[in-house]
Structure 1
């Protein structure tokens, strides 16, 4: 079976619906709605931005400038569609989500 991995996408048309605790429930991207499968476990973690490379400056009390939030969720675009894995990322101090990748559920990829 050949798996086609979609290139990482960083567009403004990505919308993420979350529950009150911040867990993604649905993703709207490229004209499609992907529902997070409630029967699978989502992964949530934080990474660190290389702030020393960005040369970002901020006033004292500006907030967390280094924590990048990630969610990896299993999604479907319809009731009978194949399960896929989506990795979402939110950069420090951002309210907008980015789609790092989306692939077949049994494949995991990392951005190069």
Structure 2
């Protein structure tokens, strides 16, 4: 199953625990806790918000209002033989809440 922008996930039940550097360590989604596998390659990048579509205004010195943070990590439910799933997480500029961009279980 893949959750995509065409079939968005509910994001109100998503929580991400990170290390002090901001790297995701665990994800709580849909009543389950998923641990990020440290042995797999994580990907981290920034995209740009379409500020011209949102028409957001801000005072001078408000900070970076256009950089959208993304992480792609592989995680599994601890203590089970569940397969690794690939989570793509997104955080809007200046937000503290993470959003679920997609989950891919490889099928």
Tell me the TM-score normalized by structure 1.
0.86
* Residue equivalent to 1:68: 68
What RMSD, in angstroms, separates the aligned Cα atoms of the two structures? 1.3
* Residue equivalent to 1:103: 104
> Greater CA deviation, 74-83 or 26-35?
74-83
Q: What per-residue deviation string (whole Å, max 9, x for no partner) do you get for residues 66-112 of structure 1?
A: 000000000101342101100000001100000111112x47xxxxx
Tell me the TM-score normalized by structure 2.
0.90
Give structure 2 stretches of 5+ with no counterpart: none
Tell me the CA shift for residue 36 of structure 1. 0.2
* Residue equivalent to 1:91: 92
Higher RCO structure (Cα 8 Å, ≥6 apart): 2
Q: What per-residue deviation string (whole Å, max 9, x for no partner) do you get for residues 32-84 of structure 1?
A: 00100011010000000010111110000011000000000001013421011
